[in-house]
Structure 1
Amino acid sequence: MSDLPTSIYWIRRDFRLADNAALTAALKHGLVVPVFVHDALVDSLGAAPKLRLQMAIEAFGARLEALGSRLILRQGAALDALRDVARETGATAVFWNRLYDPESVARDTAVKAALKGEGIEAESYSGALLFEPWTVKTKTDGPYRVYTPFWKAVRETYVPLPTAAPGDVAPPGNWPRSENLKDWALSGEMRRGADIVRSHVLAGEQAAQARLATFCEDQIADYKERRDWLDSEATSQLSDALSLGEISPTQCWNAGRRRMQEGAAGAEHFLKEIVWREFAWHLMWHYPEIDTRNWRPEWDGFSWIEDDTHPHFLAWCQGRTGQKLVDAAMRELYITGKMHNRARMITASYLTKHLGIHWRLGMRWFEDCLVDWDPASNAMGWQWVAGSGPDAAPYFRVYNPETQTQKFDPEGRYLSKWLPDQMFGASRTAKQFYDAVPESWRLSVTDRDPQPLIGLAAGRARALAAYDSFKAQ
């Protein structure tokens, strides 16, 4: 074994053994040193994404140890860390799976060039998407800007079957030093909310595979009909696992495709949601400023409120807008680190339309609170709802929280799960909000229900007036 060459498998957001092209390449090369680097991009993550990342590292480290390997942790600039590990182990190659946000692309491009310049083999692979962004083109050789044509272009495209997990990961002749994950204190920014959120998360590749299997067996048939019901456990719950690569989109696609061929009614819609995520990443690749600037440049002239100290923004963050569905959703977010997708659209619409607050402020709050934070999906979702993004609808979309409640939570089960009731008290989950929020908010389960910040009719009228004024410019 000592005669085999050694390589580094550089882990970023691909915490899995199965269907992992970079790991497969490293195993073919010889002995493997799995490395995760805590660099500036990790430092830039929000509080909840850092907590979820810590859980992914813990789970994957245990998975590697079960195969006789281990996860090496280093902190610092990625290039410096990889150079050091290569020097300590004699590694002659570094393999990784590609990322597509502009910051990662810039880092990875520089790392690859530097390593190759020093005589170290450096190769990257596809693993986070179904299709590379530069391979899906319109007839005019450009990127798709609307989802439906994008879906039609890729829905029959062949997606390879996922590869199996290796039976072992050949260790190097000598292990380099590793830092202690606890010393990184990735969950520290969550403070007292960390234990609350952690209790709602199932981390790791094996948990993700089990969730996918259960969803395909028990829920996918009704997915199209039930996925928007706020009180229904009808979705796959795989968003955080996908964001960290504990499961691959290829695995999800093939599982959904198999159920569609078997006649499961909701399977095609599940595939459409996988492609919606894909579309977001293709947009970010082609329009890398989508998370900082209006995707439609003409929206730069829209009159947003951009003050993050505005009392209406704080009330929205705290789930105290006086609109029960909005408040329940914002508390679900703070308690679990997730929010039902229908609720995401409603809360985003309320912030940007009824309250007139810039989508960037809401996007950044989600970025700090979501354990399934995904930069492309988060940015595209917020811009789609705000009106400045890739929405083909020929009208200004304004969601009404009350009618949405009547349609998707008619018995009030979602509301009672996340909000205390003045007459009947609070559920266990509703009480958790008060154990998780900062003490400086001075909130108590006995507080009276807040009064609405603005009437729904008045908020809608104001939003439409602002839109008409904007269009008239």
Structure 2
Amino acid sequence: MLHVEKPSELHTKRSLLINSPNSESSATSLVWFRQDLRLSDNPALQAACQQGHIIPVYILDDVHAADWRMGGASRWWLHHSLQTLSDSLNHKLLVLSGDALEILPVLARQLGVAQVVWNRCYEPWRIKRDSQLKTALQDQGITVRSFNASLLWEPWQVLKEDNTPYKVFTPFYRKGCKRAGEPPQPSGKPASMNCRTLPDEEFLGHRLADLQGPDGIAALSLLPSIPWDSTMRETWQPGEDAAQTRLSEFLETGLDDYKEGRNFPARPNVSRLSPYLHFGEISPRQVWHQACASALAQNQDKQLDTFLSELGWREFSYSLLYHNPDLPEQPIQQKFANFPWQQDKEALRAWQRGQTGYPLVDAGMRELWQTGYMHNRVRMVVGSFLVKNLRQHWHHGEAWFWDCLVDADLASNSTSWQWIAGCGADAAPYFRVFNPVTQSEKFDRQAEYIRRFVPELATLPDKYIHAPFAAPANVLQQAGIVLGRDYPEPVVDLKTSREDALAAFKSLSA
């Protein structure tokens, strides 16, 4: 971490701008970008621009994030997202790294800003840090303002009639969200942005100008040292403009038949907006209202309702995290605290590498590794296989997804893993075990998805590709496949492992 000089140290090295304010600095706002890397529908940025000059800043704070510092895929995305944001700000984005609780008060004081503004985040570690930061800045006489830019509704807005949080999704969405009212209309980009020129001074041991734009972003070292990201570069284009393009494409070609088509991993009926939403390159308000307008024009009410409910699930995840700060570590259903998980490093490694012997599971895990993304239906299948057939702790899946997903989001990741493990709020019943063979036969009948990500099985007929271990010897021979050499034997028997998982679950209430 870069050393941050305390105010006392700065006094001895240079006079602080706050001691000699001018008309420009007194009207300047420090705009702290976080998970809102866009210009449009950005209430903190809009409010700051209305006040006068702005100094946009991004701080990579791995200190407070601790165990939940971004994984490799997310850091890759962040690098490119910051680049596009910097471009849109004429390379005036100030990029820093370290403890934001120490950095921001010193920076605000050194630059003599009148106020610091940001859009709220809801991870427990951010809430704690931001509360402390607000007090520290106010103690310096600096105005602090925060806004909602990440959610349709604040977590404290969607409550039951007795003012307690919902624990079941359907009433949360159908009753609570409806009672909270229609999400506000999104705003556009600020009419004008006056980025203040930074003084020719040092901060964190560097000239301020050297911490802006591409040089400041490169100093974060977000990109991998070896080119494992090559396939991700072919798959994604981060940034605000790309987010709007993706939304438009989905509404034009993917919303039609969304309700059913989203279950088939080879079809283009998923939005793939999750990383853009997580990094705030597009707001949920923009997605909500554009989807409503598009569906109205195309008479797609049923498809729209299903799609909007997915935005509702994202809101539910944030509500659960807000009201259960230990959600990433502790099961909501406490009886699962004593669940007899297995320790099998080889099985876990096979799952991570996409070498389980079950093609749909392996296709999903390879899609994750190659693209930083996995189709939602397949996420449920691979999750069920890990926690039920392999009986590995859901923490292992949570951690692997956290490192590999470009859309790794603490609320959604934690909620979804607890859901599939059966230990969360409104979770899938533990006895619901997704069979990867029947799932692929139903949702990838022609094996388009499997053949794309498990090409060594491409020569197998559709009848046998979903379960190569059940194929007759002559079929395997004709396809040129030797199990155990070209493709692994199953790491576990589905029937036996399911029975063992259910027996383990029954032991909790014994």
Report whether the alignment pairs 1:62 with 2:87.
yes
SS at match of 1:177: helix
Whether the 8 Å CA contact 1:352–1:359 is kept in 2: the answer is yes
Residues 1:287 and 1:165: Cα distance change in structure 2 (over 3 Å): same
Runs of 5+ in structure 1 lacking a partner?
426-445
Whether the 8 Å CA contact 1:73–1:178 is kept in 2: the answer is no
Report whether the alignment pairs 1:47 with 2:85.
no
Q: 2 CA distance for matches of 1:4 and 1:116?
A: 15
- 1:138: how far off? 0.7
**1:224: which partner in 2?**
259
Residues 1:257 and 1:422: Cα distance change in structure 2 (over 3 Å): closer
Q: Which of 303, 306, 322 pairs up with 2:340?
A: 303
**2:223: which partner in 1?**
187
Which amino acid in 1 is paired with 2:488?
P
Q: Which of 344, 351, 366 pairs up with 1:316?
A: 351
Q: Which of 366, 371, 382 pairs up with 2:401?
A: 366
- 1:29: how far off? 1.6
Structure 1: which 4+ aligned runs deviate by more than 6 Å? none
Q: Which of 157, 161, 170 pairs up with 2:185?
A: 161
Q: 2 CA distance for matches of 1:394 and 1:449?
A: 32
SS at match of 1:320: coil
| CA-to-aligned-CA distance 1:114-133 (integer Å, 9 cap, x gap) | 00011011111111111111
| CA-to-aligned-CA distance 1:80-107 (integer Å, 9 cap, x gap) | 3223432343211100000001011111
Which amino acid in 2 is paired with 1:387?
G
Residues 1:469 and 1:283: Cα distance change in structure 2 (over 3 Å): same
- 1:471: how far off? 2.7
Whether the 8 Å CA contact 1:291–1:379 is kept in 2: the answer is yes
**1:398: which partner in 2?**
433
Aligned-CA RMSD value: 1.9
Whether the 8 Å CA contact 2:430–2:505 is kept in 1: the answer is no
Whether the 8 Å CA contact 2:105–2:136 is kept in 1: the answer is no
Q: Which of 462, 465, 473 pairs up with 2:503?
A: 465
**1:435: which partner in 2?**
none
Q: 1 CA distance for matches of 2:48 and 2:392?
A: 48
* 71-80 or 138-147, larger mean C-alpha shift: 71-80
Whether the 8 Å CA contact 2:356–2:490 is kept in 1: the answer is yes
Whether the 8 Å CA contact 1:2–1:173 is kept in 2: the answer is no
Q: 2 CA distance for matches of 1:270 and 1:384?
A: 19
| CA-to-aligned-CA distance 1:340-376 (integer Å, 9 cap, x gap) | 0001000000000000000011100000000010111
Q: 2 CA distance for matches of 1:203 and 1:63?
A: 13
TM-score (norm 2): 0.84
**1:267: which partner in 2?**
304
Q: Which of 450, 456, 468 pairs up with 2:494?
A: 456
TM-score (norm 1): 0.90
Identity across matched positions, percent:
38
- 1:178: how far off? 4.2
- 1:318: how far off? 0.6
Which amino acid in 2 is paired with 1:299?
F
Q: 2 CA distance for matches of 1:225 and 1:337?
A: 24
Residues 1:9 and 1:470: Cα distance change in structure 2 (over 3 Å): same
Q: 1 CA distance for matches of 2:254 and 2:268?
A: 8
**2:4: which partner in 1?**
none
- 1:240: how far off? 0.4
| CA-to-aligned-CA distance 1:367-421 (integer Å, 9 cap, x gap) | 0000010111100100100110123656621000011001110000000110122
Q: 2 CA distance for matches of 1:413 and 1:325?
A: 11
Whether the 8 Å CA contact 2:275–2:408 is kept in 1: the answer is yes
Residues 1:247 and 1:457: Cα distance change in structure 2 (over 3 Å): same
Q: Which of 171, 185, 209 pairs up with 1:177?
A: 209
SS at match of 1:193: coil
| CA-to-aligned-CA distance 1:48-81 (integer Å, 9 cap, x gap) | 111111111111111111xxx6110112211332
**1:244: which partner in 2?**
279
Which amino acid in 2 is paired with 1:222?
D
Report whether the alignment pairs 1:10 with 2:36.
no
Which amino acid in 1 is paired with 2:422?
G
Residues 1:447 and 1:23: Cα distance change in structure 2 (over 3 Å): farther
- 1:455: how far off? 1.4
SS at match of 1:184: coil
| CA-to-aligned-CA distance 1:202-221 (integer Å, 9 cap, x gap) | 10000101111121122212
Whether the 8 Å CA contact 1:240–1:372 is kept in 2: the answer is yes
**2:160: which partner in 1?**
138
| CA-to-aligned-CA distance 1:160-200 (integer Å, 9 cap, x gap) | 110001243102143543422222211236x3312332221
